[in-house]
Amino acid sequence: MTGVREVADRGPSSRTPARPGGWREGDPVGDRRFLDLPGPFELERGGRLPGVRVAYETWGTLAPDGGNAVLVEHALTGDSHVVGAAGPGHATPGWWAGLVGPGAALDTDRFFVVCANVLGGCQGTTGPSSTAPDGAPWGARFPEVTVADQVRVEAALADALGVDRWACVVGGSMGGMRALEWAVALPGRVDALFFLASGAAASADQIGTQTTQQAAVRADPRWRDGDYPLDDPPVDGLGIARRIAHLTYRSALELDTRFGSLVQEDGRFAVASYLEHHAGKLAGRFDAGSYVLLTEVMNTWDVGRGRGGVAAALDRVTARAVVAGIDSDRLYPPALQQEVADGLGVPLRLIPSPYGHDGFLIETQAVGALLRELLG
């Protein structure tokens, strides 16, 4: 893409983040690479950005014809670090370990695998905690974005990498939205689609859950209408939002089996302690502004918007497709994947799991088998 500048890896910084929030300029870069996309970048809902920095990671080698590239799309609180150890620059290890690497389902001896942090995120790609042109964080000034905007940024990244057409686009949950948008908006650039544990449009249940999470963040006095100092973020509100979300990510069966009504020695219910643990982990690595922004992106998701409805949008897909769901998923129940499978004329592949929605991250053997089938 003309005018795209790759930002050199400046090497690890001596600074180690010891505060909540996402990755910031000056932190160790870890395995990230960066691209600056020149602006102005016009957004679907009328806003604009003067430019976008994209953080991404790659594995494997791009073929001379560019035909072996696979795009992996992360979910809400994921990032570009699909596989790899935790360490400087990476608060957590890879979130889909076992699916990417030599001999894995996404075999890096065969494929060039790419994953980018999403537009509006907080792990290196431009988002609310990024620095605006005036030198201050964007904060509440960051414009509304949509899944379509995020895919346009990824398309610019693909252009810069020399990828005219993806051998496959893979995504689950929020990542499944971007994967489907790729196949609908840019059908000539997608050979295969792997759509997992997601839907074609946000449901009232999802919107209700996610707006409640947003309300929890905004109720924290430290929210300050979205213009909080990055060294004093609304971690309490974000933690409550994560508790709410985590209950939708896991199944009632799993929680009952693991915890029941057990009370710990400290007098707390074991399940409450478990949720508090996950709340603290997220607040220690994620930006509250990105959380509010990205849940709103999910709330406004509708692949049929401006395309005559979902069925008409799915008619645009030319890619080979696997549509899969988790049988115990209560956040994205299988009926949502059935709608997409029917629209694409393929069978729905259900993965049995006690883990609920998080099964798409945990059941890597079953997910990998379906990927191998799709990629041949």
Catalytic residue annotation: 173, 329, 357
Angle between helices 174-185 and 147-161 (to 10 degrees): 70
Q: How far is CA 152 from the centre of its chain?
A: 15
Q: What is the 8-class DSSP label of residue 193?
A: E
27: amino acid identity, one letter:
D
Token pair for residue 219?
């109720």
Q: How far is CA 315 from the centre of its chain?
A: 25
Secondary structure (H, E, C), 121-145? CCCCCCCCCCECCCCCECHHHCCCC
Phi-psi region of 301 (alpha: psi -120 to 50; beta: other; left: phi over 0): beta
Closest CA to 123 of 32, 58, 214: 32
Cis preceding-peptide flag for 40 (omega within 30 of 0): yes
Q: Cβ(332)–Cβ(197) under 8 Å?
A: yes
Q: What is the 8-class DSSP label of residue 208?
A: H
Closest CA to 125 of 33, 45, 43, 41: 33
Q: What is the 8-class DSSP label of residue 26?
A: T
Q: Is 178 exposed, middle or buried (0-12, 13-18, 19+ CB in 10 A)?
A: buried
